Chain A
Amino acid sequence: MPDGFELDELMCVLMAREIHDGDWINHGAVVPLAGAALMLAKHTHAPGLEFFYLGTEFNSVSPAVTDLGRLMTEPQLACSPSRGLMSHYDIMSLTLRGGADLQFLRPVQIDAVGNVNTSIIGSREAPKHRFHGIAVADAMVLVGRVVLYVTEHDERVFPRELGYRTGTGHVEGGAWRERIGAPGSGPASVITPLCVMDFETPDRRARLRSVHPGVDVDQVVAATGFELVVPDDVPSSDPPTALELDVLRTVVDPLATRHLEFKQLRRDAQERIAAAEAARA
């Protein structure tokens, strides 16, 4: 990646920019790239953001610690200081009532209208690949805006047809969500290592919004299994500002815990986090 920033930093910044000031977001500890985006937004353009933190030990509202790595290695900080404990069950209930403004989700597969698969590929009885599970993908139908992201971009991730549909995007395309009275507007964008897609087309099919610096449009089209809507002019993704990079690197995620979400960076990140824990012990 040119210009003094890394791909994970670019993706994190692009995800952060999807957040609006005042959003209520459900967030799980296990997805630190999304966590870093959330914290970055809170400490730049969205100070009024509040979030539910599904920690490994405590479920709470807007823990005050700004450094994700510390939240990960000192789980009690998710409890105190925070706005208060909130049960997992209550947050699911609130979400069911349409109370969540934005949700980040990293599915296994995404199709052309933003439907997702998070569970299995192959038969139900003996699947070829078993993944994490529904997670909260089924709540996609109820969440205000869903920002999908993936850390690999190929035909397996973006197939013509999903193994199973465990979360609804725009279903068959068009106005499905409006027809069933879904409270949210569904998938808003998809952030990938190559590009940003959105669904700003009449039939809600994925459209190429921007390509990352150094990536060309043909490369994205070739790596995408379904047919992507490609406008005549595709701009380059806006690079991170100096402020965004500084806040991300020094305040929000100095341990780069977000690397846990990238296959090639995961092992190093685990070792770095373990070393940070050992240094404090």
Chain B
Amino acid sequence: MSGPRRTSVLMTEDEALDLVRDGMTVAIGGFNTAAHPMMIVRGLVRRGIRGLRVIGSAISGLDLDLLIGAGVADEVVTSSVTGEALVSIGPFFRHAAESGAIRVWECDEGIFYAGLRAAGQGLPFLPWKAGIGTSIPELNPQLKVFNDPFTGEELLAVPALRPDIAFLHVARADRYGLAQHEGSGFGDRALFRAAARTIVTTERLVPNEHIRADPAKTSIPYADGVVRAPWGAHPFSSPGHHLVDEAHLNEYIQAAEAARKGDRSAFEAYLERYVLGPQSLLEYLEVIGLRRLHELEEWA
């Protein structure tokens, strides 16, 4: 978050991806099976970005799983990587954690938000009260037990989680970076406050007058970049716009589960068809096809 301005921050998909360097700390917004900025996620894989510390949403979906499976992430910060009812734990997340291929910054949702809030307020850490009496500090040595200087009570210190850049998918935004969510978007706001820079991909690019007509809905005041990205969250849902594409997620899960068990061929084919082949959001949507998109567009 870097403050108000009145100049256009519109950028292209490629300009947004140009901001990411190997080894950065990158936050990927959304929640569960909703509104992950998948245009960016696929772009990071396509460009062969490596060594990222990825801060997921409080409950990450298979967006993080893909980044792990494609070798983009070295470390993940999230309470869980899940496909909800479809698969309780991301196949690549599980496999890479068990083989030691990634580091997992063990936390729950509360610890996650405490770290983001510390960053958002420019603090080195914030205290967290849950977890006392547990061995969580052994699982995550960056969490330190300390004593309240006033009462002596034991607390956990959660260090600030500072994304170099956060990517969020929103329902609408104007050219100046004023963005609005449909649905809650509460986790995205926390990532925005914590991150040095925030780029939103937006379902609809709207005139500033539309934002002004309903200012209470503005959830991200002044993103640092706005990329027009209708269907940019597919295969996840985009609240207010379209449903989750469960058939596609199941296709991914089957390929990823096979890879976890040693046969990467279906996953390589998945990557080629959906991630490495299409060179832009538009080319990706052509692969998905109008028929599928049409089916997802309304609440049945």
Contact = CB atoms under 8 A, between A and B. Distances in A.
Interface of A: 29-30, 54-59, 72, 74-76, 79, 85, 87-90, 92, 95-96, 119-120, 122, 124-142, 164-168, 171, 176, 180-181, 257, 260, 270, 273-274, 277, 280-281
B133 A168 contact: yes
A128 B110 CA distance: 26
A76 B58 CA distance: 20
A132 B88 contact: yes
A138 B85 contact: no
A119 B113 CA distance: 19
A137 B89 contact: no
Nearest to B89: A132
Contact of A127 (B34, B35, B97): B97
Closest 5 CB pairs of A and B: A87-B186, A126-B100, A138-B131, A134-B108, A168-B133
Contacts of A87: 184, 186
A138 B98 contact: no
B263 interface: no
B108 A141 contact: no
A137 B108 CA distance: 8
Interface in B126-146: 128-136, 138-139
B80 A133 contact: yes
B131 A141 contact: yes
Contact of B79 (A58, A133, A164, A260): A133
B98 A164 contact: no
B108 A135 contact: yes
A57 B131 contact: no
Given A134-B107, A165-B135, A85 B89 contact: no
B246 A274 contact: yes
26 contacts: A56-B32, A57-B31, A57-B32, A57-B184, A58-B239, A88-B186, A89-B113, A96-B110, A96-B130, A120-B97, A124-B139, A126-B98, A127-B97, A127-B98, A130-B98, A133-B107, A135-B79, A138-B111, A138-B130, A164-B138, A166-B134, A166-B136, A171-B133, A180-B132, A260-B85, A273-B85
Contacts of B93: 130
Given A128-B98, A134-B79, A136-B110, A165 B134 contact: yes
A260 B94 CA distance: 19
A30 B129 contact: no
A132 B97 contact: no
B113 A30 contact: no
A166 B138 CA distance: 10
Contact of B34 (A56, A131, A133): A56
A136 B108 contact: yes
A172 to B, nearest CB: 9
B213 interface: no
A88 B135 CA distance: 24
Nearest to B79: A133
Of the listed residues A74, A124, A128, A281, the one surrounded by the most CB atoms of chain B closer than 10 A to its CB is A124
B58 A164 contact: no
A30 B135 contact: no
